[in-house]
Amino acid sequence: METYSHERSLNKRMRSFLFSGEEMRTQWRDFNTNNLRLKLLRVLDIQGIVILAEEGICLGLPDVIGELVHLRYLGIANTRLKSLPSFIPNLRFLQTLDASGNDLLKGTTDLSNFTSLRHLLGLFVGELDLSSFSKLTNLRALSLKVPTFKLSSDEAVGFRTLVEFTLRCGVRRIPRDMDLMFPSLESLTLVAMKFEEDPMPALQELQRLEDLALQNCDCLGEKMSISANGFGRLRKLEIIKIILDELQIEEEAMPNLVKLNLTNRVRPTKLIIPNRLRAFARLPTDEA
């Protein structure tokens, strides 16, 4: 990545700054003092840039980014971060925080200042105050990994605007009022869950859902069923690497489905599905 040695090489009124390149060593001093003194900056994307000390230790992000209080977009994907920097709460006008591609981001995640946040991407573990989501009334996309996931009606306010949601956690039962908690949801991905009961009755009540993926999940109840009125708008259903004895889909279910992908794990899944779905479905070769 090219670095700049003189401040006059920058346009002080610049609104967007995008970086790309390979890992850097010891160039951060110039990058810090010159390239980020842009008080009007709205977009900063440094994805893929890993700042390393001579010992190969990731230095993280400089505090000067915390002074860019007008940022709307911060891209820090694939930067080897282990936790979010302490200055992140200063960026209260952020609309998108993309921290995807990093290892699990540990520590306390406080979102209460981000009242304009629309997209939050990354794998977060540790303490997460779900009540802070009640203030995020503009949130549209969220990717989240937490040990458990329980919401009260008050805490669910911030989730009612979600359009895309990826959740990996230890939850074993899908809330019965999913349609009330997530009325705007169009895309849902659930990862590594062990369902004690069939999640489909609750999920199929999501009236706007178009894309549903269950990845590396187990259904301890052994069977999933989709009723005749289920998933009226669903276009894509993926059930990937799942342990499931039986999948039953009634004839009138999912009238708009155009993609069905089922990959079982360990043992075959018995399929009771309409012939119209078999025409485009990707199914295990060892189906019953």
Which neighbouring-strand residues pair with 52?
Answer: 25, 58
State the pLDDT at residue 7. Answer: 44
Residue 23 phi, psi (nearest 5):
-60, 140
Using only C-alpha atoms, the chain has a radius of gyration, in whole angstroms, of 22
State the pLDDT at residue 18. Answer: 66
State the pLDDT at residue 189. Answer: 95
CATH code: domain 71-278 is 3.80.10.10
State the pLDDT at residue 264. Answer: 82
Which neighbouring-strand residues pair with 142?
Answer: 120, 165
**Nearest-angstrom CA–CA distance, 36 and 47:** 15
Q: In what order do the strands lie in the sheet with 141-145?
A: 16-18, 43-45, 73-75, 96-98, 119-121, 141-145, 164-168, 187-191, 211-215, 236-242, 259-264
**Nearest-angstrom CA–CA distance, 214 and 97:** 25
Nearest Cα to Cα of residue 76 among 46, 51, 96: 46
State the pLDDT at residue 281. Answer: 87
The pTM assigned to this predicted structure is: 0.73
Burial of 95 from C-beta contacts in 10 A (0-12 / 13-18 / 19+): middle
**Nearest-angstrom CA–CA distance, 93 and 71:** 6
Residues in the chain with pLDDT values less than 50: 1-8, 25-30, 32-33, 286-288
Q: What does the pLDDT look like over 26-78, one tens digit per residue?
A: 444 445 445 566 777 889 888 877 766 556 666 677 788 888 888 999 988 88
State the pLDDT at residue 152. Answer: 61
State the pLDDT at residue 33. Answer: 42
State the pLDDT at residue 180. Answer: 87
State the pLDDT at residue 1. Answer: 40
Burial of 109 from C-beta contacts in 10 A (0-12 / 13-18 / 19+): buried
**Nearest-angstrom CA–CA distance, 36 and 17:** 9
